[in-house]
Structure 1
Amino acid sequence: MRAYQGELRKLASLRSVWASIAIGVLVPAALTFLNAKSAAARGGNVDVGFQELAFGVVGAVILGVVAVSSEYTVEGESAGGGRQITTSLTVVPSRRRLLIAKLAAVITAVAVLAAVSSAVTLMTVDALLGTSDFARLPGVVLYWVLTALLASGLTLVTRNGILPLVVLILNSSVVTVTYLLSKLTPLAVFFPDLAGVRMFVRRVDLPVQLAPVTGGLVMAAWVAALLAVGFLVFRRRDA
């Protein structure tokens, strides 16, 4: 419990985490405000708000990455002029316990962020269109949490936040590479982002339409595999 509380305090001390929270809450709501009425005019308002929440997962990506990468940043926000990992392992010598505490803190922070962002975005939809579907909110929360864990797992392997941030943010926002790949092969539907988004987005132009539960299980399997690799790397590497 102390290790978990310590990880939560570390997250709260990072300016980049607060930036990710702002992005995660404000971006989906702002995009929904801009897109809602035009989407309704086209008769495609079934996913208004939810498509924007899929884009807002960038906030969860940033949080998941910096939760791990901040441990290895020299002269970082919380490193006090050195690498935070040395202090962390001094306080919590068990790498297994430290990693579990860190991931638990990430899950807690992202779950709260996703719930708040979803509530704000869906209330925006309700105010603009007079309709909203809060029943899909658990799917959004789970998607954000799994995405953050995916980002943390990838950062555990790379030990650097730049590559995970570039790859995951670009794929979530600017150029959805996995979506483009789905035009070449239906197997791309089983990439974690395309599978996971089916938990709450109803209309997706994909060659294979996964059920929400199936999509969640596929994404969870990817996350479990990557975290397992990340844990092995974390245990074997020098601090």
Structure 2
Amino acid sequence: MAATQVVRSEWTKIRSVASTVWTLSLAVLVTIALGMLISALSKNEYDSLSARDQLSFDPTFISFAGMSLGQLAMIVFGVLVVSNEYSSGMIRTSLAAVPQRGTLLFSKVAVATLLALVVGMATSFAAFFLGQAMLGDLRAQIGDPGVLRAVLGGGLYMTLIAMFSMGVAAMLRSPMLSLGILMPFFFLISNILGNVSATEKIGRYLPDQAGSKVMQVVTPVDDDTPYGPWGGLGIMVLWVIAALVGGYVLLRRRDA
């Protein structure tokens, strides 16, 4: 089967699964709604902040506060795109139709990545503009230094989270096992490692902590992170590449 036919087939599979629409819709809604709420609360509390905290106040980053929950929906999307066929047994049919396993995997990843990128960018821009509306006179403008980079970075961050999840799901094959590892990893373990002084220097190299740096415009006063916004995104890209290569190698080596 030609690569274009495989891509078309994967697009049909993804858009015909109801969970795809639901998870992406949830990612959009949660990210925007929580970002607006946190932005509104931050505006109300700004006057009570210390002078040090006011110096570190980052209106752009605050509007992306919903990413912490929105990324969980992107994780579910990435996992389901790859592992749904394993749980249903359809993977055997797919591999019979497309014996080139690399072509099958990367067609699936390419289609899902493009969809995640479109949704991620739309979400990031909407979260920024609506969040800034909540901040009133504290708001940032899209033309301010670093702001457009942060907004574009937000869309890339959501896309890379989905891609990383696809790679992990390709390695583990089971949706339950993949979600059982990824959800606690991003929601609990990463936060714990990043906030405990003994492990904080390790935590900053995890994919979510490194990648989220690209959404930051104002560097906190006590921030000693040894990389900048694009450096952090680069670290996240390396994690994604490692996950996808791992998924490809295991797909090639084992039975369906």
TM-score by length of 2: 0.82
- In structure 2, what is the equivalent of residue 78 of structure 1? none
Q: How far apart, in 2, do the equivalents of 1:62 and 1:96 lie?
A: 22
Which of structures 1 and 2 has the bigger CA Rg?
A: 2
Q: How far apart, in 1, do the equivalents of 2:14 and 2:100 lie?
A: 20
- In structure 2, what is the equivalent of residue 180 of structure 1? 192
Percent identity of paired positions between Structure 1 and Structure 2:
28
Asked if residue 190 in structure 1 is aligned to residue 190 in structure 2, the reply is no
Cα deviation, residue 32, structure 1: 2.0
Amino acid at match of 1:181: L
- In structure 1, what is the equivalent of residue 62 of structure 2? 48
Cα deviation, residue 98, structure 1: 0.7
Secondary structure, counterpart of 1:199 in structure 2: helix
Cα deviation, residue 206, structure 1: 6.3
Q: Which runs of 5+ in 1 are unaligned?
A: 75-82
Q: Given that residues 128 and 151 in structure 2 are in contact (C-alpha distance below 8 angstroms), is that contact kept between their aligned partners in structure 1?
A: no
One of 40, 61, 74 as aligned partner of 1:60: 74
One of 57, 70, 76 as aligned partner of 2:84: 70
One of 136, 150, 155 as aligned partner of 1:141: 155
- In structure 2, what is the equivalent of residue 105 of structure 1? 111
C-alpha root-mean-square deviation of aligned residues, in Å?
A: 2.0
- In structure 2, what is the equivalent of residue 223 of structure 1? 240
Amino acid at match of 1:198: K
In structure 2, the CA distance between the partners of 1:201 and 1:139, relative to structure 1 (3 Å rule), is same
Asked if residue 31 in structure 1 is aligned to residue 34 in structure 2, the reply is yes
Secondary structure, counterpart of 1:210 in structure 2: coil
Cα deviation, residue 209, structure 1: 5.0
Asked if residue 16 in structure 1 is aligned to residue 19 in structure 2, the reply is yes
TM-score by length of 1: 0.87
- In structure 1, what is the equivalent of residue 93 of structure 2? 87
Amino acid at match of 2:225: V
Secondary structure, counterpart of 1:57 in structure 2: helix
What are the within-5 Å matches in structure 2 for residues 141-160 of structure 1?
141-160=155-174
Q: How far apart, in 1, do the equivalents of 2:163 and 2:185 lie?
A: 16
Secondary structure, counterpart of 1:73 in structure 2: helix
CA-to-aligned-CA distance 1:147-204 (integer Å, 9 cap, x gap): 111111111111101122233233444x2x1232132221221111111111113457
Q: How far apart, in 1, do the equivalents of 2:246 and 2:151 lie?
A: 30
Q: How far apart, in 2, do the equivalents of 1:151 and 1:206 lie?
A: 29
Amino acid at match of 1:166: G
Amino acid at match of 2:119: L
In structure 2, the CA distance between the partners of 1:45 and 1:187, relative to structure 1 (3 Å rule), is closer
Secondary structure, counterpart of 2:119 in structure 1: helix
Amino acid at match of 1:57: Q
Count of aligned residue pairs for this structure pair = 229
Cα deviation, residue 63, structure 1: 1.1
Secondary structure, counterpart of 2:99 in structure 1: coil
